[in-house]
């Protein structure tokens, strides 16, 4: 069989990472990324890129933990390299605070991040409305530089990237041996996934270089995440809203909530508003499927539906998707060997 051709549909953090893992684990493959949008116009460009996992109710915890561990280890290695600044990856310490003590004082990921511990009474004095908190150090990706860094890595190993709107995965069957669907919220239309829905997120990106520590309210709705150049303030979680237009009342609400956690933000400059649609479902769709029409078969691997937690698990799910692509290719190889007999 000639070098198998794999198409990855989607160029957000999931699509680019999956393409990279496929190219790394299957060097004999020819890998192509197809997307109607590349950075800076993807949902991933809006994301804060903090490694604090979101929980997927439909996925076993040990699987989620494995995805997070692999992602953390991968980004930690980059943060300790000369590429850290270009890739936009850095360590950041801070606090997750709660108005009431949570049922789970030790989240499943507490031993993956660095130095996880309960906050001291003295630290809690900074947050008079909160009664309990956790302190730890985690990683943050500044998303646009990270996506550009991934694109550069892909080009360096010969992966092709084309701007193309794919309306139906079947349209790729004559050009590619395996198709990988990393279309994010686009999968709602692309594969008609009714279990996938948008959770609209509006965030502010501000200049506040004095803010060095992250602060996250335990409900996950209000957060302050310092990046290399800008601080991300969030946020909103609006289920089933498809609007990409900024909402001025939400901007004011986000700003006021963040200032109540960190009053010094009242002096923030140059406020930019960003909106993205998180591709949400009960569980990440990570599976193989074979499409067939008139006796012709097209192996497909799906990797989408990461909701608010894509950055925290992107490398782990990309590795699993690459493994599934390997299984598809082995099955094709077996079929072509049998055909020759």
Binding residue numbers for D-dopa: 223, 278
Q: What is the chain's length?
A: 341
Is residue 182 within 8 A of residue 304, CB to CB? The reply is yes
- Residue 158 phi, psi dihedral angles, 5° rounding: 90, 10
Q: How far apart are CA 213 and CA 240, in angstroms?
A: 32
**Cα 222 from chain centroid?**
19
Phi-psi region at 7: left, alpha or beta (left = phi > 0; alpha = psi -120 to 50): beta
Q: How far apart are CA 129 and CA 245, in angstroms?
A: 32
Is residue 42 within 8 A of residue 147, CB to CB? The reply is yes
Which residues are part of a known binding site for FAD?
43-44, 166
Instruction: Give the three-state DSSP class for 43.
Output: helix
The two structure tokens encoding residue 254: 């986000």
The secondary structure element, H or E, covering residue 67 is helix 61-79
Phi-psi region at 26: left, alpha or beta (left = phi > 0; alpha = psi -120 to 50): beta
Torsion sign over Cα 99, 104, 105, 110: negative
- Residue 138 phi, psi dihedral angles, 5° rounding: -135, -170
Give residues with Cβ within 8 angstroms of 201, minimum separation 6: 46, 234, 235, 236, 237, 238, 275, 276, 277, 278, 308
Nearest to 321 by CA among 286, 283, 285, 284: 286
Which residues are part of a known binding site?
43-44, 166, 223, 278
The two structure tokens encoding residue 105: 């004082």
- Residue 286 phi, psi dihedral angles, 5° rounding: -135, 95
């Amino acid at each position: 069989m000639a070098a198998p051709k794999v198409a990855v549909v989607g160029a957000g953090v999931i699509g680019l990472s999956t393409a990279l893992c496929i190219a790394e684990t299957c060097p004999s493959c020819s890998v192509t990324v197809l997307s109607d949008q590349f950075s800076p116009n993807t949902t991933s460009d809006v994301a804060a890129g903090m490694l604090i996992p979101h929980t997927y109710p439909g996925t076993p915890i040990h699987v989620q933990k494995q995805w997070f561990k692999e992602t953390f280890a991968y980004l930690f290695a980059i943060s300790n390299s000369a590429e850290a600044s270009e890739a936009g990856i850095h360590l950041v310490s801070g606090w997750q605070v709660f108005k009431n003590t949570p049922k789970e004082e030790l989240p499943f990921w507490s031993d993956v991040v660095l130095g996880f511990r309960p906050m001291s009474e003295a630290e809690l004095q900074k947050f008079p409305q909160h009664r309990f908190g956790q302190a730890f150090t985690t990683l943050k990706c500044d998303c646009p530089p990270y996506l550009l860094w991934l694109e550069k890595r892909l080009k360096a190993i010969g992966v092709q990237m084309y701007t193309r709107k794919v309306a139906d995965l079947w349209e790729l069957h004559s050009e590619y041996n395996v198709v990988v669907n990393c279309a994010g919220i686009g999968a709602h239309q692309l594969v008609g996934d009714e279990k996938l829905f948008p959770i609209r997120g509006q965030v502010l990106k501000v200049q506040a270089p004095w803010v060095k520590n992250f602060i996250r309210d335990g409900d996950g709705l209000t957060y302050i995440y310092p990046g290399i150049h800008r601080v991300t303030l969030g946020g909103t979680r609006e289920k089933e809203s498809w609007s990409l237009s900024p909402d001025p009342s939400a901007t004011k609400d986000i700003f006021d909530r963040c200032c109540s956690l960190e009053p010094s933000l009242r002096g923030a400059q140059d406020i930019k508003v960003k909106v993205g649609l998180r591709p949400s479902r009960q569980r990440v769709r990570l599976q193989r499927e074979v499409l067939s029409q008139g006796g012709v078969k097209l192996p497909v691997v799906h990797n989408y539906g990461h909701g608010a937690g894509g950055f925290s698990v992107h490398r782990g799910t990309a590795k699993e998707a690459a493994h599934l692509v390997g299984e598809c290719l082995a099955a094709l190889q077996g079929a072509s060997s049998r055909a020759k007999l």
